[in-house]
Amino acid sequence: MIRNLWNDLEGTFFPESALDFMPQSQLRQVQLQRLKAITAHAYANVDLFRKRMDERGLKPQDIRSLDDIRLLPFTVKSDLRDTYPYGLFAVPISEVVRLHASSGTTGKPIVVGYTASDMEVWKQVIMRTLYSAGFHRGDVVQNIYGYGLFTGGLGLHGGLEGIGATVIPISGGNSERQIMVMKDFEVTAICSTPSYFIHLIEVAQKMGLDFKRDLKVKRGVFGAEPWTDPMRDYIQQTTGVEAYDIYGLSEIIGPGVGAECHCRDGLHIFEDHFLVEILDPETLEPVPDGQEGELVLTTLSKQAMPILRYRTRDITSIDARPCGCGRSIRRIKRISRRSDDMFIIRGVNVFPSQIEIALLKTEANLPHYQIVLTRKSGLDRMCVRVEVSGELVGDRIADIESLQKRFARSIEQITGLHAEIELVQPGTIPRSEGKAKRLFDKRNEEGV
């Protein structure tokens, strides 16, 4: 049934972004058809969803309207960890043509899979993302997102090739080389995290290059981490690059869930593939359009790993007003905060519990620590303050440096990120009778 439905709708998968302008009545019909099909697919093939629906006395045929989405159970990030690696897959592994993964709090990655049909959907929503930002055939695009298990690099790559752009799959790091390639290859567009691109601005200046004078970059899509309007203003004023926000998450598809148009007044969600709810994080009841709440997403066409009502923990609101670009798909407010304690640094999702696990793997430390996030020259930095035994603090410098390296190495093994380590005396970290405050995010306090 589900395959036949997707085949019937196959004609809607084309690059001219006509779906972005579909009449609302037609869009809701497509959403309802797909919601019914994806619910049946998930129920028939994923034990977790079938068990939870059975517990509610719910069958796929009970989904008769879009409002009936509220009958379905939620999915949370821990469900993906608990069913590692393939427990949420709805097709045999032989039908999965791509695997990606992102880190989890225990060090085990969250695994996501894609069928050939899923890959086509992914390419199409990325193409629509790029068209929204003014990318086109003939652009020479430097894709700085990480390639590999992270969904960013390869996810954007397929859409870039789909629109006929020339892609430079450079990935991240080696900043001076990034600038050299940008100049020598006459790059016209960029895909990057905003914080790293701001760092590249500083690198270019140190190399004696001026973006507006010496480089040809005209536009860029930036995402994978929250970023502010002052950051956008800095990018645009300093470089002349038109900066567009994009939104996605691995659990749903990767990049390509939503994107800004030229109006840059919120992110259009590609609603034919992703059903949006905004709920009160406490009551889990819907909130009115325009009111902030937690973003909950349901995949409508994902075959390999359908996800029902995924609690993203991202706080935003729906803007149902007509957009100046003419697109009928609705917008969400740009994501600026989350309802849980996860933080994003340099495009990587990190939980304080990951840091704690890393510290506990290393000898001579007490389980008292703080994470301090700062931003210097546009680049996010993470410092971990750790209490250690009094015998070690103040002892030989070589011993202290050795312990700092062990902590840093352990954190990098779990998160993939470098952290600066500051060792402090016992009793330095404040105690709390309630929930300990582990994270101090000072990035916005220090400007862009």
pLDDT tens digit sequence for 17-43: 678 999 999 999 999 999 999 999 999
| Whether residue 314 is found in the same domain as residue 370 | no
| Whether residue 208 is found in the same domain as residue 239 | yes
| Whether residue 235 is found in the same domain as residue 118 | yes
| Whether residue 223 is found in the same domain as residue 355 | no
CA dist., res. 114 & res. 89, Å (int): 9
Strands 420-424 and 379-388, by their bridges, are parallel
Q: What is the DSSP string of 54-93?
A: HHTT--GGG--SGGGGGGSPPB-HHHHHHTTTTTT--S-G
What element of type H or E holds 109?
strand 109-114
CA dist., res. 223 & res. 172, Å (int): 14
* Residue 409 lies in domain: 348-446
pLDDT above 70 for 78: yes
Strands 140-143 and 166-168, by their bridges, are parallel
Structure confidence by residue, pLDDT tens digits, 187-232:
999 999 987 898 899 899 999 999 999 999 999 999 987 777 878 9
Closest CA to 407 of 371, 346, 370, 355: 355
CA dist., res. 339 & res. 341, Å (int): 7
| Whether residue 72 is found in the same domain as residue 206 | yes
Structure confidence by residue, pLDDT tens digits, 229-285:
878 988 999 999 999 999 999 999 999 999 999 999 999 999 999 999 999 998 999
As a whole number of Å, the CA-based R_g of the chain is 23
| pLDDT on residue 426 | 77
Strands 439-441 and 331-332, by their bridges, are unpaired
Query: Residue 191 corresponds to which tokens in the numbers above?
Result: 């895909």
| Whether residue 272 is found in the same domain as residue 133 | yes
Structure confidence by residue, pLDDT tens digits, 325-346:
999 999 999 986 676 667 888 8
| Whether residue 286 is found in the same domain as residue 431 | no
Q: Where does the pLDDT of residue 421 fall: very low under 50, low under 70, confident under 90, or very high at 90 and above?
A: very high
CA dist., res. 5 & res. 11, Å (int): 11
432: domain CATH number is 3.30.300.30
Query: Residue 341 corresponds to which tokens in the numbers above?
Result: 């304690």
| pLDDT on residue 108 | 76
- Sorted by sequence, the CB contacts under 8 Å of residue 446 that are 6+ apart come out as 374, 375, 376
| pLDDT on residue 17 | 66
| Whether residue 263 is found in the same domain as residue 411 | no
| Whether residue 242 is found in the same domain as residue 372 | no
Q: 305 exposed, middle or buried (CB, 10 Å; 0-12, 13-18, 19+)? A: buried
| Whether residue 324 is found in the same domain as residue 373 | no
Domain end position, chosen among 307, 322, 340: 340
What element of type H or E holds 445?
none
106: domain CATH number is 3.40.50.12780
CA dist., res. 292 & res. 278, Å (int): 7
The amino acid present at 266, given as its one-letter code, is G
Cα separations in angstroms, 427 against 84, 369, 372: 38, 11, 18
| Whether residue 284 is found in the same domain as residue 320 | yes
Domain end position, chosen among 340, 374, 405: 340
CA dist., res. 205 & res. 24, Å (int): 48
* pTM of the entire predicted model: 0.78
Report the percent of the chain where pLDDT is more than 90: 67
| Whether residue 333 is found in the same domain as residue 381 | no
Number of domains, the chain: 2
Q: How far is CA 327 from the centre of its chain?
A: 23
Domain end position, chosen among 290, 314, 340: 340
CA dist., res. 110 & res. 102, Å (int): 5
What element of type H or E holds 380?
strand 379-388
Using N-to-C axis directions, what is the helix angle for 194-206 and 175-184, rounded to 10°?
80
